[in-house]
Chains A and B, each alone.
Chain A
């Protein structure tokens, strides 16, 4: 099992450019999440999905869009990048059965917007 993978690992964008971050998981998890991590602020939820074809806003959704066309993939898009979106982005997934289950994280994507 590869677990949760993210591509790319690093990216530098200029202000106004667009890009898509790809997250893939091979654990057959229903739930998937996108977070951003900034120094001193922990992880903040951008968007999440509770199943194929469904998405919902998290704590900091502005400037991002997501899609979950396939169960194993969760895409995060930046339509017009801004310097404030410089961050490390983490994808996570979790099981959705009865109870509470931990999230499994990918290795992260380091994005710099100049």
Chain B
């Protein structure tokens, strides 16, 4: 069975600081991994996705994530946080099963001025 664990339900950083949001997956087959962002009172938007083409994936708004098979991780990073990055972030895993996704519990990012 596939599952996703996001370490830290809340992360707080200062504006301009590095953002690191952690995601570990459990999968019996090579996974397809995604990061989504949810702004208050909105639906989820895709940030980036890993589909085995490259281990370092660049997404929108300056975010990127690195797939590390040995660590079963897909952590999300951004070199310099902006106030507009404050949102909730979800890691998700999928496989060849009618495109069913399994979401982590989410990490709320707070950016302090």
Chain A residues proximal to chain B, CB less than 8 Å: 4, 31, 33, 35, 40-45, 48, 50, 56, 58, 90, 92, 94, 96, 99-108
Q: Which residues does chain B contribute within 8 Å of A102, judged by CB atoms?
A: 34, 46, 49
Chain B, interface size category, equals 20 to 34
Q: Which of B41, B99, B105 contacts A94 (CB 8 A)?
A: B99
- The 23 sampled A-B contact pairs (Cβ below 8 Å) are A4-B43, A31-B98, A31-B99, A35-B103, A40-B105, A40-B106, A42-B90, A42-B103, A42-B105, A43-B101, A43-B103, A45-B101, A90-B44, A96-B99, A99-B51, A100-B49, A100-B96, A102-B46, A102-B49, A103-B101, A105-B45, A107-B41, A108-B42
A40 contacts B9, C-beta separation under 8 Å:
yes
Q: Which residues of chain B are near A31, meaning CB under 8 Å?
A: 98-99
How far is B34's CA from A94's CA once the two chains are assembled, in angstroms?
A: 14
Contacts known (A31-B99, A100-B32, A100-B94); A42 close to B43, Cβ less than 8 A? no
Name B's interface SS: loop
The A-contacting residues of B in range 67-113, CB under 8 angstroms, are: 90, 94-96, 98-101, 103-106
Q: In the complex, what distance in Å separates the CA atom of A38 from the CA atom of B105?
A: 9
CB neighbors of A among B18-58 (8 A): 32, 34, 36, 41-46, 49, 51
Q: Which residues of A contact B105 (CB under 8 A)?
A: 40-42
Query: In the complex, are the beta carbons of A105 and B43 less than 8 A apart?
Result: yes
In the complex with contacts A40-B105, A42-B90, A43-B90, A100-B43 CB distance below 8 A: no
- The answer to whether A90 touches B99 (Cβ under 8 A) is no
